[in-house]
Amino acid sequence: QWLLYTVLFIYNVCVSGHDSGPLFEEQPSSLIYPEGLSEGKVTLSCQARASPTASYRWLVNGTEVPLGLDLRYTLVAGNLVISSPEPARDTGSYQCLAINRCGTIISRAANLKFGYLHDFPPDSRSPQTAYEGVGTFLACQPPIHYPALSYRWLINEFPNFIKKDDSRWFVSQVTGNLYVARAEPNDTGNYFCFTTINMDISTKSTFSKANALTVMPDGTTPPRTIKVRFPTETYGLAGHSAQLECFAYGNPVPKLRWRKVDGLMPSKASASAEGPTLILPELSFDDEGVYECEAYNSEGSDTYQGRINVQGEEKIVDSEVEISSELVWSCVAAGKPRPSVRWLRNGQPLNTQISNLALEDSGMYQCVAENKHGTIYSTAELRVQVQAPDFRLNPVRRLIPAARGGQVKMECRPRAAPKPSLFWSRGTELLTNSSRVTVTPDGVLWINNISRADEGKYTCFAENYLGKANSTGHLSVRDATKITLAPSNADINQGENVTLQCHASHDPTMDLTFTWALNRVLIFCLHDLYQIRNIENIGDLLIVNAQLSQAGMYMCTAQTVVDSASASAKLVVRGPPGPPGGLLVKNVAEASVELRWSRGYDNHSPIGKYVIMGRSSLSAGWKKMMTEPVNIEGNAESARVMGLMPWMDYEFQVIASNILGSGEASLPSHTVRTQQAAPTVAPSGLGGGGGDRNELIVTWTPMAREYQNGDGFGYTLAFKKKDTPSWTVVRIPHVESSRYVYYNDSLLPYSPFEVKIKAYNRRGEGPFSQIAVVYSAEEEPTVGPSTINATALSAFEIQVSWEPVQQLSGILRGYEIRYWRQHEREAAADRVRTAGLETTARVSGLRPSTRYHVAVLAYNSAGTGPPSPRTTVTTRKPPPNRRPGNVSWRTDGSWVTVRWDAVKAMHNESAVLGYKVLYKHEGQTALKVLDHTKTSMSLPLPKDNGYIVLEIRSWGEGGDGPAHEIIVSRDSGEKLQNTNVY
């Protein structure tokens, strides 16, 4: 054999069982290279698994790449590297050839193209007008580019992008246009189309001139109209993704949902099945079909349909066939238009049919399917074999156990080419077909109804024109397996436990195992809900905390390596009902809707009643709804929901219950909006007052959404002067309004008005509110305090008192004290305001020994009145600017005596009238103050070896002087200490 392989290697022949033809592990992918990038490199990948290792060649547009002749081309492993690529020279379709002695394969075509994005034209764009409540769009009109762009839109300035999660807006990634389902006044602004091109090694972006959009009021409510439509025919390659776009105008903003018209929506599309873009990743032929986009809101719906066509082919697989035989390789390709199919052998076109296969037909074959949408390659290796019969790799089984009364199968699978003749013998007896024995043409021996007499040696003989071979096995007959205790039918409630019994007998020389299946699906013993008791001849199944999903037909199987026996039993699990289905909303009125549904599974316990749950657009949680009838019987399939708010979006669910509990809720209904109705409640919070002269200001709380009952919402405000007969009525057409200002030159200050307010919408008016009394704007006070007095309290503070003013035409809010130094202008006066009717106040933060002018004015919400007669006051001299000095102390038992030197005032300082001692014990937060005229003081010491913090300062008419701080403890003795000076 070694000599044979040596000869074959010399002649470069593919050796069966040793060599393998090339198989691509990595193929080149199409690349887009930035135009004008001169110093870069392009790498086209190609790697193939092969034995012996493959060599590589490259084609561009069907012509061989001159590797070794043009230095711009380099081969790295199998990859082609192009240096300094240029559009004129290097644009094209590239294919890699992988070659070894078993054959040649050619890769898919990879296109090298050059990308570019020009700037938007510099011309200004025409302004656009839209109407409130109506849909519109802004065109991007992108500049020349390659390849496709991604699009975003800016509002007014960078980086204020349109938010993707705002359902009113949609940016098409096909056209780049910006769509708005319903325009609003605050949409007015400048919009810029922002385009980005993504290439393999770089990204470039640019944006347009401003698209000025003005939104005008008084738009009509448009129907739902689908404005962004996907093509009626979309083509995609199997394994690639497809995207469909759909967007609609409408008020309220329509919601979007997708469905597959001719089948179930693929589960992989569920994340995008409600939104403007449907994404189908990794297309398969099952995804092909008609898809529908539906736009819907409370006013109705609109739909649009288109078809997705999937292109692909059935893969061919490696084959080993006998010499002189025939092979049929199917290459089935699907697509529209119908793909053309051609074959390659070792990279070259195959123009003839192959039959009566010979050794030289071995090699690498490729099926190529192509149409205008793309090209798909499928690759496989063909090996033509010639060999005498050989059992070494696949002998007859040495020991073949079988059960008495059962059936046995003995296989004869030698390697041989061409196909050998096969026959069986038992000892010297040649076996032929009989009532119990069957020998098939492909060498399989079947024996039925086995008995002990069938034990013995069985030999298979194989022969072709190249030689003969045989292989022998021994048939051993065992006792049959039987079920001795079968499981019984059971009927339980959800949550209960149950044991299904299963016992069996078997041949003692073999192991016995038990398995269980539910509705023919195998149950794994590690499952949390099941326990299998597998002990000798017992295989009981324990079901813990049974659930509805565990009902069904249970099969116990006892098996050995030679046979098996089975028995079945039915388990009924009773539980709460399943969810009702087909929930529909009908006959939508102002405050009620009709619901219809179909019964769900009763789970073996009759449905007793239904409960209807609902939620509005204002609440996230579900709550029980009022219904008619109040109690919905278990045989009902419709009811009316009452007590709803007009012009409100609702969703509903139905829940069934029986004696075992409440079941799962139905799927939510479609969102519906109740009919409009006139308002039923009046606005709250009516009040007002204040403002400028000749004004009446009325305020209220804007109506919440749940009380508006319809669109075209506004307020009707009525007011009249108290004790007059006629009302003035105004309409305020904005739901967010919360105040109204009435101006009249003849309006007297602080005059009482009666006001009332009601709401209206397109369906009518609501009731008026309770009448409130609101006063017109006040007039500032016309008089000031008649007398005023000012007294100096210290060097830094004065006290001012005055006579109160008489009642004004309004509410007196307080008084304003103005003070300024003698040589200053009154316009520069400092001001202090009091609140309320007090007629004295202190003014602090003044300068010592300074003469001040003081005046007092009354004020209200309209302003301040005239000043009182002014008075003057002079602040006192400042206190001495020295702390007590020479501080000492002596402890005596539980007391401490502190002494200090007296502080003497200078001629420009106020006289010292005494001393303030402030102290606190350790752990206290507040200081205790003692006034003293002497220069010593005795204080109690803490009992627990703590300390005292002391501050000593002088005081007099000018105020307090700076402090001297000391810390005294029980064991400190007599000391002088200057700790801190303030």
> For residues 414 and 403, what is the distance between their CA atoms, to the nearest angstrom?
26
705: pLDDT strictly greater than 80: yes
> For residues 742 and 690, what is the distance between their CA atoms, to the nearest angstrom?
12
Assess contact for 388 and 416: CB atoms under 8 A: yes
**Lowest-pLDDT range, 127-136, 582-591, 937-946?**
937-946
- Whether omega before 781 lies within 30 degrees of 0, making that bond cis, reads no
Closest C-alpha to 979, from 965, 968, 969, 958: 965
- Give mean pLDDT, residues 558-587: 94
**For residue 883, what are the contacts with CB-CB under 8 A and spacing of at least 6?**
903, 952, 953, 954, 961, 962, 963, 964, 981, 982
> For residues 632 and 610, what is the distance between their CA atoms, to the nearest angstrom?
5
Closest C-alpha to 408, from 453, 456, 448: 448
pTM score, whole prediction: 0.49
Show the CA angle centred on residue 474, arms to residues 472 and 477, nearest 5°.
Answer: 155
**Residue 981 banded pLDDT, cuts 50, 70, 90:** very low
- Give mean pLDDT, residues 676-691: 95
964: pLDDT strictly greater than 70: yes
- Give mean pLDDT, residues 420-425: 93
Higher pLDDT, 922 or 769: 769
* pLDDT at residue 330 in the model: 75
* pLDDT at residue 870 in the model: 94
The percentage of residues in the chain with a pLDDT greater than 70, rounded to a whole number, is 95
* pLDDT at residue 764 in the model: 95
Identity of the amino acid at 344: L
- Give mean pLDDT, residues 303-313: 84
Interval 423-480: pLDDT, tens: 999 988 999 999 999 999 889 999 999 999 999 999 999 999 889 999 999 999 999 9
* pLDDT at residue 527 in the model: 60
- Give mean pLDDT, residues 545-552: 92
Identity of the amino acid at 609: K
Interval 488-503: pLDDT, tens: 999 999 999 999 999 9
- Reported residue count of the chain is 982
720: pLDDT strictly greater than 90: yes
User: Residue 841 to residues 109, 481, 814, 815, 845: CA-CA distances in angstroms?
Assistant: 95, 111, 11, 10, 14
- Give mean pLDDT, residues 591-604: 95
* pLDDT at residue 662 in the model: 96
Closest C-alpha to 31, from 197, 198, 200: 200
Interval 15-27: pLDDT, tens: 777 788 899 999 9
3-state secondary structure (DSSP) of residue 169: strand
**For residue 161, what are the contacts with CB-CB under 8 A and spacing of at least 6?**
152, 153, 154, 155, 194
**For residue 24, what are the contacts with CB-CB under 8 A and spacing of at least 6?**
46, 47, 48, 98, 105, 107, 379
Cα 646 to the center of its chain, rounded Å: 32
* pLDDT at residue 754 in the model: 97
**Lowest-pLDDT range, 144-148, 360-364, 411-415?**
360-364
Cα 939 to the center of its chain, rounded Å: 72
Interval 613-652: pLDDT, tens: 999 988 889 999 999 999 999 999 999 999 999 999 999 9
290: pLDDT strictly greater than 90: yes
Interval 105-126: pLDDT, tens: 999 888 899 888 898 998 888 9
**Residue 360 banded pLDDT, cuts 50, 70, 90:** confident
**Residue 971 banded pLDDT, cuts 50, 70, 90:** low
**Residue 487 banded pLDDT, cuts 50, 70, 90:** very high
> For residues 383 and 21, what is the distance between their CA atoms, to the nearest angstrom?
10
973: pLDDT strictly greater than 70: no
- Give mean pLDDT, residues 158-174: 88
Closest C-alpha to 900, from 971, 961, 970: 961
Closest C-alpha to 464, from 387, 385, 412: 387
Closest C-alpha to 347, from 13, 97, 137, 176: 97
* pLDDT at residue 10 in the model: 40
Q: How many CA atoms lie within 13 A of 355 on its CB side?
A: 1
Q: Which two tokens stand for residue 58?
A: 């490259």
Assess contact for 814 and 840: CB atoms under 8 A: no
Whole-number average pLDDT of the chain: 88
* pLDDT at residue 808 in the model: 66
977: pLDDT strictly greater than 70: no
Interval 179-234: pLDDT, tens: 999 998 889 999 999 999 888 777 888 999 999 999 988 666 667 788 888 888 88
> For residues 959 and 963, what is the distance between their CA atoms, to the nearest angstrom?
12
> For residues 78 and 55, what is the distance between their CA atoms, to the nearest angstrom?
7
Strand 959-960 relative to strand 947-956, pairing:
antiparallel
> For residues 711 and 696, what is the distance between their CA atoms, to the nearest angstrom?
29
Cα 974 to the center of its chain, rounded Å: 77
Q: Is 433 exposed, middle or buried (0-12, 13-18, 19+ CB in 10 A)?
A: exposed
